[in-house]
Amino acid sequence: MNGIHDCGGMEGFGPIEMEDENASKFKEDWERRVFGLHWGISMLGNWGLDDIRFSIERMGNGAYLSTPYYEHWLVANETLLVEHGNITAEEYEAEQERVRAELKSGGVF
Amino acid sequence: MAHDHDHNHEPPEDIVVRVKALENLMNKRGYLDQDGIDLIVDTYENKVGPRIGARMVAKAWLDTDYRNLVLTDANEAAKEVQISALQGDLIVVENTDKLHNVVVCTLCSCYPWNVLGLPPSWYKAMPYRSRVVREPRAVLAEFGLNVPESKEVRVWDSNSELRYMVLPQRPAGTEGMSEDELSDLVSRDSMIGVQVVKSPA
């Protein structure tokens, strides 16, 4: 698929942001949790790496560029779980509402 | 939780909500439990570091047979030192006096996780992915590595089935060092190819 992910040779992305070799690989805790969730879900074996990559490629160029790396992984899992019927978009939406309310009332993530 | 490190913005609450909601649904379905997820994260974050790759490099420097195995069948060679299963095939490319190798994944972020651990952020970001194939020498210079014009630079573009690791050159001044000592010298970045292994101070 032709898209922004296929960036080899493109110009204009600016300088490389260096980091210390021992820097934490997760900038936020949610990234760490997406990582674990992603591997756990992948190990169920319902789909392969190509499905994961294709679901990220379908995000669209704007979304791909404006979201952090581990959000791409989250999008892949959301997309594939719904497409394979493991969860429904409605129950996922409802669960998000529940979690949002819980966080507002002082729940700890 | 306290945020005492530098970053540009707080995570949008929306993403925290999405992650938690997905975790809850996975738990409820019985697909995953929290302990399993924590174990995966701990393994990759703390146990599968670049030390596995560094061990392969040190062994290859000391043992010609092992070096030949690394260069002809890296999957077999990795089995001798590593603790988890490979993802796809691994190919190890050797730096020499005439050739410098560097690894990228232009399409996504394929990386030899099982021998190098989690990839650095810059490896997954657009600036490195887009540019190292166009002007590798300039990119390497940004990492502080000036490859002489007399040396060829080869860029290896990974994919989900085939991942590359660089076998760096053994630096001068390491004669008589043990495998452990040599392995401590080998940086992750030298196995991606954006650095070389420096002589011990």
ipTM: 0.92
Chain A residue numbers with beta carbons less than 8 Å from the beta carbon of B37 are 33, 36-37, 40
CA distance B50 to B115: 6
Q: What is the CA radius of gyration of chain B?
A: 19
Mark out the alpha helices in B4-125 (DSSP H runs): 13-29, 34-42, 51-62, 64-72, 74-79, 113-116, 121-124
Q: What is the distance of C-alpha A66 from the center of its chain?
A: 12
User: Is B109 tagged catalytic?
Assistant: yes
Q: What are phi and psi of B173, to 5 degrees?
A: 85, 15
Q: Are B31 and A18 a contacting pair, CB within 8 Å?
A: no
Confidence (pLDDT) at B11: 40
Give percent above pLDDT 70 in chain B: 92
Q: Which of B84, B109, B160, B178 is catalytic?
A: B109
Provide the token pair at B49. 């570091």
Distance of CA B28 to the CA centre of its chain: 35
Q: What is d(CA A87, CA A93) in angstroms, rounded to the nearest whole number? A: 10
Q: Active-site residue B187, yes or no?
A: no
pTM of this structure: 0.88
User: pLDDT at residue B173 above 60?
Assistant: yes
Residue B108 annotated to the active site: yes
B32 touches chain A (CB under 8 A): yes
- Residue A40, Cβ neighbours under 10 Å: how many? 22
**B162 pLDDT higher than 60:** yes
For B57-86, how does the pLDDT look when each residue is reduced to its tens digit (9 = 90+)? 999 999 999 999 999 999 999 988 876 665
Residue B7 pLDDT greater than 50, yes or no: no
